[in-house]
Structure 1
């Protein structure tokens, strides 16, 4: 008998389908597993709800996230919801309650999260994107804490450790780089300039997207959510010109345009809240270098000029500032050339893979371990740490991390960088020794 688990996309969501086949590959039975998560806002508080297949609220999950973790950030609550939801989905696939999962099934759950064939009772699991080992550890820990909360004190989940086969899976990605160096970035920009398949507008677009991530440390969602009113030019007390971008969320943003460390916006009323107007809570400010700023504005001007010829305009975005020009209209900066909608992240991903291959930059295979776009932001952090030699306490002000501890996952120097660091220290010690002689 063969068991196949498929992940089926439906609208903006997804559900799982279990197919049971006999030895002659004939379908004996199949059924769908549909758990639905959503959020609702009541009195300025966001509540997270999990519904089972019969659209009944899973009360223990509701209490765990909204009561026990009442003061946690929305991002934390969303992560907990995702992990616990997958635990319930897997139990439903196994046709049992979460309290009845066996050790063998818990081992399968780890493979289920990784998104590939288990070689066990469930012969194949087809998922759109498997989770990295780091995320599997995180999900298992969340589920263990939830099981304790549910008073399943003797449950095997509490003793669950990642199996060696899961830990050692995907070893072929071991040497896959975690960040894009500035030298590789120069290769990328040169490739784009010479790509005959792109028009000038498209070249500017891709260069601007990559430059915002590599040279200013923006996340991909923050890039895609940028609007024309977010770009600023100012002068400091020394008369120097400063180029900045304001990072914030809008009600018109899609799920791919979210600034994950800023206040989540439910509707236009949130724009008037004190939280939304507070720096580091509702919005963040990022410094841009001059080249990045003018690459972005040059791209948008080229896009806008093309659209105006056809009496069109870029995609509308909510305007959240007061403007002297009462006719001011706000637009998202990055747009698909063909349909004039916000830039599609899958199209951007496909082109990025093309660029990486052309520049000899290794890609992850099968399971995403090193996020395609996050490698640019990672490169920004590494440049500040090892090229600019900034202390971590200063770097986090540029990367917008809350602490030096949260910066640690970005600290993955190459052997060359470690060697150069050691050489610099030796030269510094030699200089100090010579100074002491005289």
Structure 2
């Protein structure tokens, strides 16, 4: 009997052909693994897919590198992952992409779902299970790929004769729509996304005040009170946080107002990119109209602005403090403490500061200059009334203990730790919920439940490309259902008592 098993490494998933002999021992026949390697030519990164024999897949190369030039890294990664699975399936079952039958596509969907049939001749043992929504996402990428290859009469593109009618967003107009035959049915969720409530937000801030620094406070407040995604927060630079006087059109009084600008830079890493905004290919793009108009702008509280400026002033300038030899502390324990000098015990307590050696301080300064510097993209806003630059050097705001920009892996570890200390539920084994995104969802729920925002207003505030995405925040919460049930029960009892 032939046994096909799914296995995985940290970087990839692969499949093993095994012969299960009568003795019960497994003998490896073949390993099917579609690998991806990257190569940089003239400062442009190209991704190359290889089959199990390390032969480049030319069609996949053209599709990934030429069809996704203006797409986000996540979209490109999704394409790579999709083609890995597709070519693994084709190689395992010796199929030709241009000749897939309806039965082959159904088997492909079983393969995606993680269905593991056991037969007399062949047994398949898959570990990864996927939802209908995820399967449809992969099928959409397969259609995009086969259309790119001009494969005629591809069964993946079959349209269902059944027509459904849905309302166009923002207008009472019914639009007819036909779905794909091979798409899986998806039931829309009836509940709101998992979000951080006001009470939970307060608990998180209390934990941060006790055990962490103002860096963690600023990041969490930007996500919850500003509705920013974690990537947008980690990509913020000093230039992006601005405070100015604005005149109230009604009272004619001037008021101090702070804003955060979200925009992408050439210097950004993938985890620092803002979603749905233009990603510049070179620095010349900074002066283009598309880039300037595409920047996001979010108002924030003045107290948060002041806290961010305070963090920058202290944590970006370790040389600004007076050295006290008697206060030397062994360089251990806290990840966030990198100063060589401190002002006083109060500052030390509030910001959890520990002293580092001169060698550590030199490393911090060297890393800061090499890795934390960022492009200045708005020359006009960075010029004072006399024509001099306001900001000589720009840098990413949130940095780690050695002077490099805080990365998403380190932050996710800190975020999980904070939520656990706050008593909030976190996924133990399978990580289904984006812990950072709960704060953005919490921001949206506050807009809906407390400020009574409309779906369009929520979408505008969250800078969502599709306004329909805001609808999920208008679903009933479990508390809403419980309250409605209590009200119904009481009303029913009152009515029965009157009979």
Taking structure 2 as the reference length, the TM-score comes to: 0.66
Q: Deviations over 1:342-368 (max 9, x none)?
A: 112122112222222233322235444
Q: Show structure 2 runs of 5+ residues with no match.
A: 159-179, 249-253, 321-339, 341-360, 383-387, 488-499
Q: Deviations over 1:46-90 (max 9, x none)?
A: 999875543353179749984xx99x9768964873565245333
Paired with 1:377 and 1:16, the residues of 2 have a C-alpha distance of: 32
**In the alignment, which residue of structure 2 is the partner of 1:269?**
284
Paired with 1:241 and 1:290, the residues of 2 have a C-alpha distance of: 8
Deviation at 1:232, TM superposition (A): 0.1
Say if 1:155 and 1:420 are closer, same or farther in 2 by CA, change over 3 A.
closer
Matches within 5 A, 1:124-163: 124-125=126-127, 134-144=133-143, 147=146, 150-154=151-155, 159-162=181-184
Say if 1:63 and 1:325 are closer, same or farther in 2 by CA, change over 3 A.
closer
Deviation at 1:155, TM superposition (A): 5.5
Paired with 1:194 and 1:162, the residues of 2 have a C-alpha distance of: 48
Report SS of the residue matched to 1:357: helix
Taking structure 1 as the reference length, the TM-score comes to: 0.74
Deviation at 1:177, TM superposition (A): 5.7
Matches within 5 A, 1:28-427: 28-35=29-36, 51-53=49-51, 54-58=55-59, 62=63, 66=67, 78=76, 81-82=79-80, 84-94=82-92, 95-98=94-97, 99-100=99-100, 102-103=104-105, 105-111=107-113, 118=116, 121-125=123-127, 134-144=133-143, 147=146, 150-154=151-155, 159-162=181-184, 178-195=194-211, 198=212, 203-238=213-248, 239-278=254-293, 281=294, 283-306=295-318, 309=340, 310=361, 312-313=364-365, 314=368, 315-322=372-379, 323=382, 324-325=388-389, 328-337=392-401, 339-364=402-427, 366-417=429-480
1:17 is aligned to 2:39: no
Q: Which has the larger radius of gyration?
A: 2
Total equivalences in the alignment: 390
Report SS of the residue matched to 2:432: coil
Q: Deviations over 1:184-208 (max 9, x none)?
A: 111111112222xx4xxxx211111
Report SS of the residue matched to 1:183: helix
Paired with 2:461 and 2:469, the residues of 1 have a C-alpha distance of: 13
| Bigger mean CA deviation after superposition, 304-313 or 219-228 | 304-313
Q: Show structure 1 runs of 5+ residues with no match.
A: 425-438
Paired with 2:300 and 2:425, the residues of 1 have a C-alpha distance of: 28
Decide whether the 8 Å contact of 2:237 with 2:396 is kept in 1: yes
Decide whether the 8 Å contact of 1:133 with 1:369 is kept in 2: no
Decide whether the 8 Å contact of 1:234 with 1:241 is kept in 2: yes
Q: Deviations over 1:359-398 (max 9, x none)?
A: 3322235444332211111111111011111222222221
